[in-house]
Amino acid sequence: MSKILTVSPSPHISSDLSVPKLMYGVVLSLIPAFIVTVYMFGLGALVITAVSVVSCVLAEMIIQRYIMDAPVRIRDGSAIVTGILLAFNLPSNLPWWMVVIGAVFAIGVGKMTYGGLGNNPFNPALVGRVFLLISFPVQMTSWPLPGASRFHYLDATTGATPLGFLKEALRNGQTVPEVMNQIPDHMQLFLGQMGGSMGEISALALILGFAWMLYKKIITWHIPVIMVGTIFAFTGILYLIDPTRNASPLFHILTGGVMLGAIYMATDLVTSPMTKKGMILYAAGIGVITVVIRKFGAYPEGVSFAILIMNAFVPLINKYIKPKRFGEEVKNG
Amino acid sequence: MFKTFHKGGVHPPENKLSAGRPVEPFPVPATVAILLSQHMGAPAKAIVEKGAAVKTGQLIAKGEGFLSGNIHSSVTGKVSRIEAVTDASGYKRQAVFIEAVADEWFDDINTDTLLDKEIKLNAAEIINKINESGIVGLGGATFPSHVKLSVPRGKKADFLIVNGVECEPYLTADHALMLEKPGEIMVGIEILKKALGVTQAHIGIEANKPDAIALMQKFASEYTGVKVHPLKVKYPQGGEKQLIKAITGREVPSGGLPVDVGVVAFNVGTVFAVYEAVQKNKPLIERVVTVTGKNIKNPANFRVRLGTPVAGLIEAAGGLSENTGKIIMGGPMMGKALAIADIPVVKGTSGILLLQDDEASRNKPQPCVRCGKCVAVCPMGLEPYLLMPLSQKNEFDRLESEHIMDCMECGSCSYICPSARPLLDFVRSGKNNVGKIIRSRKKQ
């Protein structure tokens, strides 16, 4: 036999899983949420998503080629995911140049300064979002009303998000039941009829994406379910203590970025823990911090900050939360 | 819902191309090269010399180490030379070469195929017979069977577990054997029960072999205390510890043996060999080998004499195709890639698998994205993403405290990694180094 055979150690087969497959899987799962945001916010949603994705991919390419002198890996799809998720965390009337700044910050500072994909401790899209929130607080908290101005981008009709409206009203001495009549009901919130960041409005669309990612085994249920569950339980306790000062737990999980954060931001493979037990601890931590910020903080919303704070604990969680080994504790009946 | 083990595991495409093919007797080859190292322990010592005439089934080498086994001639003929031959690991090892002339069986070996149900030997005699017959675990680990049956003082076996799982993709040797020899396997189980002094036996078979499950259930119903457990299809369920967990819920302790939880486990191939040894006086000189691959014209299950060259088996199954990229002895998850096809079949050879060029090469490793999938699939509860860099950096103390020695080398981590990182390669080398350190510590 003249031919040289390949000799390599086992295993000799590998699954068809790959990083691009995971990333494009996430992109596909975002389609329902994208359709809802385009339906509600129209032109602005299209412009911002396009600007964000193109800026993220270009920023990554330029940094890899000209600054790091490293192989260009934009085809792995991770910059596209960051671009879409950053856009989904912005209001649809943000000036396009602010989106570019956010994208460059997200990729440059959030990802490439640590060495690129796999090495960044913080979720890049959230790094970009929080940077924009701090730099441009006015533009970042002006929210187009859903369905009100589909053909206007910068001069869209704006209003408060349900969470912002509630926080302001409570500050002015109103009670929760008084406020509830003036904002969308739970079914409207569930479908996405509310002001807010582009991708966060429709819990239904996000849950569809979640189901698809579970089916494709891109993520596991642990982080989303535990995070939403913790927020539900914690706000539920507050609601039972004083329903005039605290909104219902269902209101809390349907508003703000809870669903988007739980399904897409907290589950980022790179910045979440490695073990199931670690994921549970991490997700519960995000839930608790989110509620604390919503209840006591200056911002009406707390998901982004909560995720970034828990991102910082992930190395510690990975170090101390170990999987249970086979045969470690022997309880044989 | 079928039973299974609960920690980790993967589900590779099954590709059981040779399922449903009967066990065909493979012609006795003109020359066999019988390796002196076909078991876990030290090589056996040859007791024949060049020029000696031997008969089929005659003892030609004695296993003298604790984990060694006797070796018998698989053909009738003349010892032409005793010299080194390349084995599956790529190393040269001593082998007895025999030129076959006829097929005359040694002394009182019974070659008829009548089912002999009556067990005449007592427990000690059975264990002795198994030792003499050179029987080792045919699942691939080649652990000597008589050692497993000699339960250490102070420990007690509650029952026997029979491994008919065959969880490696492509392989069907055990499946074919169960369909062909259910009666013999049942008698083998009775023999092992007697040797162990237990009354219960549990047979584990994965649900992708419904015909074998049904047949074994039918035959088991004639015996008391023999139960067939259909199991969910999941790799590495054929791992002894995973199988015991799946069937009994008992967990073999880290660093321990199955008998620590009252269980002794044997592969169905081994059980059949035990039957032949004890009832027919026939030593282990042949076994069922699957020859398969997507480009193999006639995927087959052959009954092969030990020492038969692999190249001959491939020829009989339709020959090497142009685009064969890799020849594997064993399954695709744990088998060994061969550099040449001229390698003899040994006791642990469960299959020969040919992969095409495009299947044979590995993907280029990419940076770890910390997805945690290697942790999720590890059946032993280890963290391969962590062990790999520790091994690269020679941090042996850390590797030991991260329990690298628990790794069973099933390859689930490398299989699943979306970045194609060679996790197991590095875990294996780390294990090697840590193992050396542990052994030298014990000597002091």
pLDDT in tens, B256-272: 999 999 999 999 999 99
Angstrom CA distances, B121 to B114, B161, B195, B240, B268, stand at 18, 21, 9, 28, 21
User: Is the CB of residue A1 less than 8 Å away from at least one CB of chain B?
Assistant: yes
Q: Which residues of B touch A315 (CB under 8 A)?
A: none
- H/E element, A2: none
Q: Say if CB B274 and CB B130 are below 8 A apart.
A: yes
Q: Which of A3, A6, A72, A214 would you mutate first to test chain B, the one with the most B CBs within 10 A? A: A6
Is residue A158's pLDDT more than 90?
A: no
The complex's ipTM works out to 0.90
Q: CA nearest A120 in B: which residue?
A: B369
- Alpha carbons A159 and B337: distance in angstroms, whole number: 66
CB-CB under 8 Å, B418 with A18: yes
Residues 308-327 of A with CB under 8 A from B: 322-327
Q: Is A6 on the interface with B (CB under 8 A)?
A: yes
Per-residue pLDDT at A145: 86
Tell me the shortest Cα–Cα distance from B115 to chain A, in angstroms.
Answer: 37
List CB contacts (< 8 A) between B375 and chain A: 274-275, 323
CB contact under 8 A, A327 and B326: no
Chain A residues closer than 8 Å to B295 by CB: none
> Over chain B, what is the mean pLDDT?
94
What residues of chain B lie within 8 A of the CB of A269, using their CB?
A: 369-372
CA A11 to chain B, closest CA, distance in angstroms equals 4
The burial class, CB within 10 Å (0-12 / 13-18 / 19+), for B155 is exposed
Rounded-to-integer distance, Cα A231 and Cα B204, Å: 44
Residue A332: pLDDT above 70? no
Pick from A248, A265, A245, A232: nearest CA to A86: A265
List Cα–Cα distances, B46 to B52, B146, B304, in angstroms. 12, 20, 22
Q: What is the pLDDT of residues A111-134, one digit of tens each?
A: 999 999 999 999 999 999 999 999
CA dist A306 and A285 (Å) reads 8
Cβ neighbours of B428 in A, within 8 Å: 9
Touching check for A113 and chain B: CB below 8 Å? no
Give B333 to chain A, closest Cα distance, Å.
4
d(CA B235, CA B335): 14
CB pairs under 8 A between A and B: 170
Q: Quick one: pLDDT at residue A2?
A: 55
Residues from chain A that touch B255, judged by Cβ atoms under 8 A, are 327
pLDDT at residue number B177: 97
B137: left (phi over 0), alpha (psi -120 to 50) or beta: beta
- The Cα–Cα gap between B245 and B119 comes to 31
Predicted local confidence at residue A331, as pLDDT: 54
Q: How far is A332 from chain B (nearest CA, A)?
A: 5
H-state helical runs in B197-298:
210-220, 240-248, 268-280
At residue A98, does pLDDT exceed 90?
A: yes
User: What is the Cα–Cα distance from A121 to A312, expressed in whole angstroms?
Assistant: 7
CA distance A138 to chain B (A): 36
B251 to A116: CB separation less than 8 angstroms, yes or no:
no
Contacts of A13 in chain B (CB under 8 A): 12, 169, 332-333, 355, 359, 415
> What pLDDT, on a 0 to 100 scale, did the predictor assign at position B1?
75
Neighbours of A23 (CB within 10 A): 23
DSSP-assigned letters across all residues of A67-130: IS-----GGGSHHHHHHHHHHHTS-TTS-HHHHHHHHHHHHHTTTGGGTSTTT-SS-HHHHHHH
CB-CB under 8 Å, A5 with B337: yes
CA-based nearest distance B337→chain A, Å: 5
Among residues B279, B346, B353, B311, the alpha carbon closest in space to that of B125 is found at B279
**pLDDT exceeds cutoff 80 at A330:** no
Between CA B407 and CA B134 the distance in angstroms is 28
In this predicted structure, what is the pLDDT of residue B64? 87
Contact status, residue B154 vs residue B267, Cβ threshold 8 Å? no
B437: closest CA of chain A, how far (Å): 22
Portion of chain A with pLDDT greater than 90, in percent: 75
Nearest-CA distance from B131 to chain A in Å? 30
Chain A residues closer than 8 Å to B406 by CB: 325-327
Task: Encode pLDDT of A289-298 as tens digits.
Answer: 999 999 998 8
**Residue (of A55, A224, A66) closest to A125 by Cα position:** A55
Per-residue pLDDT in tens (0 to 9) along chain B, 444 residues = 789 998 999 999 999 999 989 999 999 999 999 999 999 889 999 999 999 999 999 999 999 888 999 999 999 999 999 999 998 888 899 999 999 998 999 988 998 989 999 999 999 999 999 999 999 999 888 999 999 999 888 889 999 999 999 999 999 999 999 999 999 999 999 999 999 999 999 999 999 999 999 999 999 999 999 999 999 999 999 999 999 999 999 999 998 999 999 999 999 999 999 999 999 999 999 999 999 999 899 999 999 999 999 999 999 999 888 888 999 999 999 999 999 889 999 999 999 999 998 888 888 999 999 999 999 999 999 999 999 999 999 999 999 999 999 999 999 999 999 999 999 999 999 999 999 999 998 877
User: Is residue A287's pLDDT more than 80?
Assistant: yes
Give the residue-averaged pLDDT of A151-169.
Answer: 84
Nearest CB to A325: which of B367, B406, B418?
A: B406
Would you place residue A333 in the very low, low, confident or very high pLDDT band (cuts 50, 70, 90)? very low
Q: Are B379 and A326 inside 8 Å of each other by CB?
A: yes
**To the nearest whole number, what is the mean pLDDT of chain A?**
92
* pLDDT computed for residue A181 by the predictor: 85
**Which of A179-183, A267-271, B193-197, B414-418 shows the lowest mean pLDDT across its residues?**
A179-183
